[in-house]
Structure 1
Amino acid sequence: MKKIHLLLLKSFIRPFIVTLLIVMFVLLMLFLFKYIDDLIGKGFQWYIILELMMYNSATNVAMALPLSVLLSSIMTYGSLGENYELVAIKSAGISLRRAMYPMMVVVLVLSGAAFIFSDYMLPVANLKYYSLLYDARKQKSADLLPENIFSNRFPGYTIRVKRKDDDGQTLHDIMIYSKGTLETNQDVLFAKSGLMYRSKDDLFLILKLKDGIRYMEGPGDEGNAMPRKRLTRFRFKETEQKFSLDGFKMTRTDENEFRSASMMMNLHQLQHYIDSANREVDSNVNGNYALVAANLKYTTMPQKSKIKQVVPADSIKLKSVSEKFNALNNSASEVRQVIDILKNRADRHKETSKSIRRYIMEYQKKFTLGAACIVLFLIGAPLGAIIRKGGLGLPVVVSVIFFLIYYIIGTIGEKSAKEGDLSPLVGAWVAIAVLFPIGLFLSYKAATDSALFDAEMYKRFFKRFSLRKTKPI
């Protein structure tokens, strides 16, 4: 029995590791394709890109792990069935359920590890990943002086380069506008050619300009009754211009600004936020009547009011038209005031409730990751035993179909829960609830040697049905 268990474990662990690495690689490529324009050409150090890829891989575990469990379980039992090893195990008196025990133990361990990862490591990875990605996306491009574009990347200057050589450093037809204290272009420089390079300390961009002219506009003589502007013109054979590169260095945002997001919290922090938000909602609801009570008239007092004598509204007689007009204006003003108060508090209550639902969803997702691994294993193992196909052919197609069903149902449930159409608990677990009976059904069919995916059985059935219809009466 121990040898059979070791055989099953070896048959499962190898394809599981391979499929996990493949899925992680595919998801990493999707990340690079999505953000390639925000990362390339900004002069990042190689370790910045590597760090982003590492954190992104950690955030992809929530999607890669269930798919890897499903695919590897189908491949394992499909390969055992294709090589008639399952037949040999059953002929030895070992049922399929007993043959699944060691695999089930491994999947339970993986589910526990997935829960620990999602509670302790995933919030940290999300915090590092999204904060670094935010800083990387807002980083300015390393192409400091693009061709035929008036660039404002250097504060106080507008620079246009008509053409650059293939080396990227030799410039032609350069125009530089310098802004003065009044934010106007008071200094214009033209140069036929130039050379662009960085200083040794990488603090400045240096333009070595040749064959140019510079126009400067300044104030005239102060003693003149009608002061005029003074235009100064300089011709030069060679000059240098320095521009600070402080704005092109990547600056890191304080990570504490991202800690309030639900993905950056563990179970304890999420529970603390949910409790605090619920208390805030309850206090706001209880305070609604106190806010509008000052605008309530004695004619609208509840029946349990202590006031014994109530004067009917019709008994209040207004003598002149102006008094009636003033009374109506005052009433309309109070109505608008009450509506504004209630509208603001209703909007605040709506946003707070939506935030609570989002945090409850994130709280439940800590548990659904491990549960998804178990449910998808219950689907993948009997499917492999039924279809009896190993490798990366049919098992990949079947696993992708079931994973898409799981992902689509989960996404619909999550969005519906965040919008308030479903309870957050239902939205988080609806995909598990739908697939779990399917897993039990497939396990029963595999244990009873059902030919559920045997094409010949369906051909014989439809052939028999067609013969009955064509049989003469």
Structure 2
Amino acid sequence: MFFLFKYVDDLIGKGFEWYTILELMYYQSMVQISMALPLSVLLSSIMTFGTLGENYELVAIKSAGISLQKAMRPLMVLILLLTVSSFLFSNFILPKANLKFYSLMYDMRNKKLAFLIKPGVFNNSIPDYSIRVDRKDESGKMNGIMIYDHKGTNGIPKVIMAKEGEMVKSSDGKFLVFNLKNGVTYEEQASSTGIYNPRQVMLRSRFKETKPKFDMKSFDLSKTDQNAFGNSTVMLNLKGIVKKRDSLQKQMDTLNRNMARTLSNNFKQSNIALGYTKVKVPRKAIGNNILKGIPNGFRLQSIQNAANTVSVITQSLTNGVPRQEDLSGEIIFTSVEYQRKFTLAASCILLFFIGAPLGAIIRKGGMGLPVVIAIVFFLVYHIITTVAEKSAREGSINPIFGMWIAFILLTPLAVFLTYKATVDSALFDVNYYKQFFIKLLRIKQR
């Protein structure tokens, strides 16, 4: 649903084959694993331990002298394997899935619209042709057809007008055939000498039926070279991200060094004689009014020189600052994507240690209460992660801290829930709170 809502405008009305859309959805499903995997771990752990608690199997396990932590060990091994698998997936498979998805989406976005003739509007979807119809019925028949043919006419269009017609594909699907009836063709012949002559030859021919063909190659989905997208950060593994970040940092250092050199040259005093004279001149104090220290004949020139210097500095900053901001944003983005490779794996461990104790505490299995609780906790995790990531990309917080802030904030909650589940706390027992408030009211009545 997320895929359809986001990309439906790029797919509708372009005549894609079903397998092309299915391929795109397949690649997008891999991209969405980063959101689906933590939620699935959280939900499955809550449902598993909730079912064990609801059927009093946890009670039997604890009565046999086995603690909750020891009972969780087999699942902890499974989660560790899943964590390693998710890291390998993020580092090796996900970049390739992103590469294939974005390259295919680029091709689909640049594919021309399906040939839809709208009445009263010139359609230029076919190269070298412009087509207009007055009316069009539901069966596809058109009336009042006008076609401008610019193909091989040296800028002089060939005009075809017909009373009616219909459009069909050829048997091999390579051509679009226009069956025109009761029309006339106007064609102006170019001068044979190449010199403009106002008395040109105009040819007019009438026809009862004609079938001009239009090549359909311009409507085919062309495949873009995937290497053109290979340098994008989301399509790189850890090694590629580190290499790109180092390259961006070198560009940033070069830019800063060049800007500092350019700006410092405009702030230096005249140093032409520096090192070539031993004459020592005492420093002259400059007050608030600088113009008083300049002779009358040189004040205007000094103001003009200062204005030129300010103009040079402003132009230098105007050219350098946007590039600096772009490089800074790209460096931050590489740091964010680098940490994302690890946060997906860490989120599986974190949400397992939240979900498993929660299931043991609420003692409810199935698709009811566990689903509600899982969604609530996942939304908290997802909102914190999204807000922190956005702040990190904007440069408000450190990228490393921003990508790990959800893990840092929710780890104490996981420790607290694990402790409560170990000591059989009635944290979510409604009857416990009911009895507590009844006792509290009785104390107040006394």
TM-score, normalised to structure 1, is 0.84
With over 3 angstroms needed to count, the CA separation of the structure-2 counterparts of 1:300 and 1:468, relative to structure 1, is: farther
Correspondence 1:454-473 to 2 at 5 A? 454-469=429-444, 471=445
1:46 aligns with 2:18: yes
Cα offset, 1:86, TM superposition:
1.0
Per the alignment, residue 56 of structure 2 pairs with 84
Per the alignment, residue 426 of structure 2 pairs with 451
Unmatched 5+ stretches in structure 1: 1-28
Cα offset, 1:408, TM superposition:
0.6
With over 3 angstroms needed to count, the CA separation of the structure-2 counterparts of 1:58 and 1:226, relative to structure 1, is: closer
With over 3 angstroms needed to count, the CA separation of the structure-2 counterparts of 1:190 and 1:467, relative to structure 1, is: farther
With over 3 angstroms needed to count, the CA separation of the structure-2 counterparts of 1:459 and 1:324, relative to structure 1, is: same
1:285 aligns with 2:262: no
Per the alignment, residue 93 of structure 1 pairs with 65
Give the whole-Å Cα distance in 1 for the aligned partners of 2:176 and 2:138. 19
The structure 2 residue matched to 1:378, chosen from 353, 371, 382, is 353
Give the whole-Å Cα distance in 1 for the aligned partners of 2:249 and 2:201. 69
Per-residue CA deviation, residues 101-153 of structure 1 (Å, 9 max, x unaligned), is 11111001000000000001100000001110111122122234345532110
Greater displacement, 176-185 / 145-154: 176-185
Question: Secondary structure, in 3 states, of the residue corresponding to 1:332?
Answer: helix
Correspondence 1:360-375 to 2 at 5 A? 360-375=335-350
Give the whole-Å Cα distance in 2 for the aligned partners of 1:83 and 1:300. 89
Give the whole-Å Cα distance in 1 for the aligned partners of 2:69 and 2:83. 19
- The amino acid of 2:60's aligned partner reads A
Cα offset, 1:415, TM superposition:
0.7
Identity of aligned residues (%): 47
Correspondence 1:4-23 to 2 at 5 A? none
Per the alignment, residue 318 of structure 1 pairs with 295
- The amino acid of 1:203's aligned partner reads K
1:215 aligns with 2:174: no
Per-residue CA deviation, residues 68-99 of structure 1 (Å, 9 max, x unaligned), is 00001111011111111111111111111111
Correspondence 1:38-437 to 2 at 5 A? 38-164=10-136, 166-168=138-140, 170-179=141-150, 186-217=157-188, 227-228=198-199, 231-298=202-269, 309=281, 312=284, 317-320=294-297, 323-437=298-412
Cα offset, 1:60, TM superposition:
1.3
RMSD between superposed Cα atoms in Å: 2.9
TM-score, normalised to structure 2, is 0.89
| 2:159 and 2:185 in contact (8 A); partners too | yes
Cα offset, 1:382, TM superposition:
0.7
Greater displacement, 291-300 / 419-428: 291-300
Give the whole-Å Cα distance in 2 for the aligned partners of 1:226 and 1:271. 67
Give the whole-Å Cα distance in 1 for the aligned partners of 2:139 and 2:353. 60
Per-residue CA deviation, residues 143-194 of structure 1 (Å, 9 max, x unaligned), is 34345532110122221234445454x4333222234789978443222222
Q: Which has the higher contact order (CA 8 A, sep 6+)?
A: 2
- The amino acid of 2:352's aligned partner reads F
How many residue pairs were aligned?
Answer: 436
Give the whole-Å Cα distance in 2 for the aligned partners of 1:324 and 1:454. 86
Give the whole-Å Cα distance in 2 for the aligned partners of 1:439 and 1:360. 27
- The amino acid of 1:63's aligned partner reads M
Cα offset, 1:266, TM superposition:
0.3
Greater displacement, 190-199 / 61-70: 190-199
Give the whole-Å Cα distance in 2 for the aligned partners of 1:64 and 1:404. 12
With over 3 angstroms needed to count, the CA separation of the structure-2 counterparts of 1:180 and 1:111, relative to structure 1, is: closer
- The amino acid of 1:120's aligned partner reads F
With over 3 angstroms needed to count, the CA separation of the structure-2 counterparts of 1:465 and 1:182, relative to structure 1, is: farther
Per the alignment, residue 20 of structure 1 pairs with none
Cα offset, 1:54, TM superposition:
1.5
The structure 1 residue matched to 2:416, chosen from 433, 437, 441, is 441
| 1:221 and 1:228 in contact (8 A); partners too | no
| 1:220 and 1:227 in contact (8 A); partners too | no
With over 3 angstroms needed to count, the CA separation of the structure-2 counterparts of 1:329 and 1:181, relative to structure 1, is: farther
- The amino acid of 2:94's aligned partner reads L
- The amino acid of 1:92's aligned partner reads A
Give the whole-Å Cα distance in 2 for the aligned partners of 1:340 and 1:227. 53
- The amino acid of 2:35's aligned partner reads M
Per-residue CA deviation, residues 352-388 of structure 1 (Å, 9 max, x unaligned), is 1111110000000000001000000001001111111
Question: Secondary structure, in 3 states, of the residue corresponding to 1:298?
Answer: coil
With over 3 angstroms needed to count, the CA separation of the structure-2 counterparts of 1:355 and 1:108, relative to structure 1, is: same
Cα offset, 1:229, TM superposition:
5.5
With over 3 angstroms needed to count, the CA separation of the structure-2 counterparts of 1:300 and 1:91, relative to structure 1, is: farther
Question: Secondary structure, in 3 states, of the residue corresponding to 2:72?
Answer: helix
